[in-house]
Amino acid sequence: MDKKIIWIDMDGVLVDLRSVIETSLEDTTSRNYRRYRECPDHIPGIFRNPKPIEGAIDAVWELEKSGKYDLYIATAAPWGNPYAATDKRFWIEEYFGDQFRKKIAITHLKHLLIGDYLIDDRLMNGAGEFGQITNRGIHIHFGSEKFPDWDAVLKYLL
């Protein structure tokens, strides 16, 4: 049986980046607020230790255990934060060990990825055009009405 390929975005899908950004910018008199309020993803270390999205870790392990899919991570790293890619890799290893070893794409060109599914909460960085070049692939718009959470995604995929 050929396994289908799933690409999984990080921020807003696996990682609750919004909460850590809100915490980092809650003091409107702070240096972080003044310097990064327009581009909070440039805050040094912002990607290192955020909490996972509720249900995300268990859902990924459930997809893995199903044996139906080859899982990969596709994430964008802001150009203005040179440590973001490294911090994201450390985060992945903390929660998934070696599961995604050499199965990570850092890209702003998700429309060029080849696969059957892309689970992403946004349409940016090519996510909205996923599958159009190859005539293959479905964008699972995480957080949308159809896929509001990981339970809905698992119900669709399993």
> What CATH number has the domain bearing residue 77?
3.40.50.1000
User: Is residue 88, in this structure, part of any structural domain at all?
Assistant: yes
Q: Which residue range(s) make up the domain with 83?
A: 4-17+51-157
Confidence grade of residue 133 (pLDDT, cut at 50, 70, 90): confident
pLDDT tens string 63-78: 999 999 999 999 999 9
In a domain, 131, yes or no: yes
pLDDT at 1: 65
Q: Strand 104-106 vs strand 117-120: parallel, antiparallel, or unpaired?
A: unpaired
Longest dimension (CA), the chain: 57
Catalytic residue (one of 2, 11, 41, 151): 11
Number of domains observed in the structure of the chain: 1
Does 36 fall in a domain? no
Whether 134 is in a domain gets the answer yes
Within a domain: residue 118?
Answer: yes
Residues in CB range of 2: below 8 A, 6 or more apart: none
In a domain, 33, yes or no: no
pTM of the model: 0.94
- φ/ψ (deg, to 5) at 145: -60, -40
Tokens of 64: 């893995």
Our answer to whether residue 11 is catalytic in this structure is yes
Active site annotation includes 70: no
Residue 66 within any structural domain of the chain: yes
Q: How far apart are CA 20 and CA 17, in angstroms?
A: 5
Q: For 43-67, what is the mean pLDDT?
A: 97
Residue 44 lies in a domain: no
The one catalytic residue among 9, 87, 120, 121: 9
